[in-house]
Chain A
């Protein structure tokens, strides 16, 4: 099986540790993962801000880069949802605008092959115990697109429960949005910050050391709020927890 890592532009630029953790984790599980160097961005920020026409060439580019692989794995529920849920919609919209099936046909191959990391582990590799060791108290925040668009369900929690040394604390109001929402955090900063502060207070109430999620964009917002509110909690991507072992930390 030819597996490609779609790291996402945010992780590539700001969170390379998450990328290294995914590579380490998948390699340990026997997956030979490739990183196509031509990859850039899925176009989500463009699409969700109203620039669908600017997002189209990026989607085409994604399809060119990843079309040949058997599976595309991404450590981002949000970018995964872009491909799986919104690429087909972009194709439909182009068709409705009388531009034919071209875009839909181009994008169709990558849609079913794209998996968010925890989905890939549980559904494709059929593994919940990935042999990780992480001696910390952790609370899990299910990010909105992973939760609702992809329907990740309890997959991330099942993976975390199998991690040795890890104590999982349930997060009150877990299903509520943290307030990031891409450009929402800039356009409606007051509301976004209020949502972030509530999320952080809920996380703090669990007494956990670490807040874990499967999306670094949300973690950037939550972590940035934690720093300003001086909580002492750390945001950590789930890939980095799953990649940690007793011998070596991620």
Chain B
């Protein structure tokens, strides 16, 4: 995956994509603002969400043990996975043990993070996405580009074309003469998926929350497809990040208010499913919870960056981000795009790769993401913190051990420039001399810049350098108080 600026280049110049993204993000952004404005105690809810998450993360070891006990007592089985490979091995083993070769899936970021579908496919198991947007992405042999609306980059016409072309390859074909009206598209998806729900013996899900006191998992969704996957199959396998815990049912109250308003601008979530272990009469007879770490405890070890683990995946930050709006989700090179992805991915994966080293810079630090975050993650603060790691290296935790990472490649010239600037700015005389040289040579300044400055002057005119810097004027005229002309001290 190339660095962010390179990956964004194409998206910025793709007018269809820009139009799709602009329309979708602006619509949901305005709706969210209205939904949030309706709640008089939003600031308190936001603070409560932050506190609950911070408390849980601080005592995560204790709550994880409690969760395992609760899940086990309710008839479930808990598996622990240190990384993506281990999680995929566990899930593959569990599916194979049922004798089945296909599973239906609830939309889940965790399973995308570990690349579960690909891992299952390599073992001859078909995983069918049942969320409408995930279905569009899967049928289109595409990648998701948004946390909540994975097919945000597609318009209705493109979706119609994908359905008509691909549905027959995977099961029930799209109806003849399918148009691009939302109702017809939804109906085609409903018929296609219904066959899969009724046939499937194994369901795979993630979870939005896990309640430690009762071992209950909570899935929050809009379509009801998730609930089908959770209740119809005989075996349910849930793959969940360890940071998803809340201690008690009462804590859920906060998030069930902030999550829907932040993500879909709804007052209440349409389908909230909770399940606790197994019962003989109804629902899955076998329940497996696969708890994944995959870089989370390393992230937790970082005192500035750990706030990223508060994230409840509402995607409000994506919808307000001006960079996401132009660059699109694919440029972030991760299942977590947008501002949260820019701080989460380089922490979960480390800053070693080209894309991960560029992500902390994929922001103008405008702060819109922090403003809308329902758990008050100070994304700009973490971005700057990670930039420091990229340019200076330093001590980090990787796979549980303290290691010192080197600065990323390609920052030597910048580092030298920053040092030189610091040197000059620490000496007012040096700054002044530089200003005077710039002023005296102003007639000879080029209209376009070489090197890194070329990126600027290609699309923006340079400001002219004035004949006299302010400080010279101030000294010459005593701040405008001396008689006109004043004392010339420039010689």
Contacts and interface: CB of A to CB of B under 8 A. Distances in A.
B441 interface: no
A181 B364 contact: yes
A86 to B, nearest CB: 9
B470 A7 contact: yes
Interface in B413-430: 414-415, 418-419, 421-422, 424-428
Contact of A9 (B364, B392, B431, B455): B431
Interface stretch (A46-54, A121-129, A201-209): A46-54
Interface in B357-378: 360-368, 370-371
B361 A188 contact: yes
B42 interface: no
A194 B463 contact: no
A164 B330 CA distance: 50
B438 A13 contact: yes
Nearest to A219: B463
A14 interface: yes
Contact of A48 (B365, B431, B452, B474): B365
Interface in B105-121: none
Contacts of B456: 185-186, 189, 224
Nearest to A176: B322
Interface stretch (A31-39, A98-106, A130-138): A31-39
Interface of B: 4-5, 8-9, 12-13, 18, 303-304, 322-323, 326-327, 360-368, 370-371, 381, 384, 386-392, 414-415, 418-419, 421-422, 424-428, 431, 435, 438, 452-453, 455-456, 458-463, 465-466, 468-471, 473-475, 479-480
B15 to A, nearest CB: 11
Contact of B465 (A7, A14, A148): A14
Given A35-B471, A48-B384, A186-B455, A149 B367 contact: yes
Given A50-B390, A190-B5, A39 B428 contact: yes
B475 A37 contact: yes
B215 to A, nearest CB: 36
B457 to A, nearest CB: 8
Interface string A1-34: 0000001010111111101100110010000011
Given A14-B466, A40-B424, 8 more contacts: A34-B479, A40-B431, A50-B384, A50-B389, A51-B391, A51-B392, A186-B452, A190-B5
B363 A181 contact: yes
5 contacts: A9-B431, A13-B438, A177-B364, A177-B366, A224-B462
B363 A12 contact: no
Nearest to B454: A189
A220 interface: yes
Contacts of A89: 381
Contacts of A7: 470
A196 interface: yes
B270 to A, nearest CB: 30
A38 B66 CA distance: 60
B364 A46 contact: no
What are the 10 A-B residue pairs with the smallest beta carbon separation, nearest first?
A: A181-B364, A50-B387, A224-B460, A189-B455, A177-B366, A227-B461, A16-B470, A19-B470, A193-B459, A144-B366
B392 A50 contact: yes
| Majority SS at the chain A contact face | helix
Interface size class of A (residues with CB under 8 A): 35 or more
Contacts of A39: 428
Contacts of B458: 189, 193
Nearest to A177: B366
Interface string A89-118: 100010010000000000000000000000
Nearest to A226: B461
B460 A193 contact: yes
Interface of A: 7, 9, 11-17, 19-20, 23-24, 27, 33-35, 37-41, 43, 45-55, 57-58, 61, 89, 93, 96, 144-145, 148-149, 175-177, 179-197, 220-221, 223-225, 227-228
B440 to A, nearest CB: 13
| Majority SS at the chain B contact face | helix
Contacts of B460: 185, 193, 196, 221, 224-225, 227-228
A33 B431 contact: no
B381 A49 contact: no
Contacts of B322: 176-177, 179, 195
Max chain A Cβ within 10 angstroms of own Cβ: one of B326, B368, B435, B460: B460
A140 B245 CA distance: 45
Contacts of B465: 13-14
A246 to B, nearest CB: 19
A12 B422 contact: no
A61 B465 CA distance: 26
A188 B431 CA distance: 28
A224 B459 CA distance: 8
B8 A190 contact: yes
A54 B422 CA distance: 6
Contact of A35 (B8, B371, B389, B479): B479
A186 B4 contact: no
A71 B183 CA distance: 62
B426 A40 contact: yes
Given A144-B367, A190-B12, A224 B362 contact: no
Contact of B384 (A24, A47, A144, A179): A47
Given A184-B361, A225-B459, A148 B368 contact: yes
Contacts of A37: 428, 471, 474-475
Nearest to A96: B303
Contacts of B435: 12-13
A221 B366 CA distance: 15
A132 B391 CA distance: 46
B326 A195 contact: yes
B96 to A, nearest CB: 45
Contacts of A47: 384
Given A14-B466, A228-B459, A49 B473 contact: no
A186 B367 CA distance: 19
A190 B7 CA distance: 11
Max chain B Cβ within 10 angstroms of own Cβ: one of A11, A12, A48: A12
Contacts of A20: 470, 473, 480
Max chain B Cβ within 10 angstroms of own Cβ: one of A19, A47, A49, A61: A49
Given A20-B480, A228-B459, A184 B431 contact: no
Nearest to A173: B26
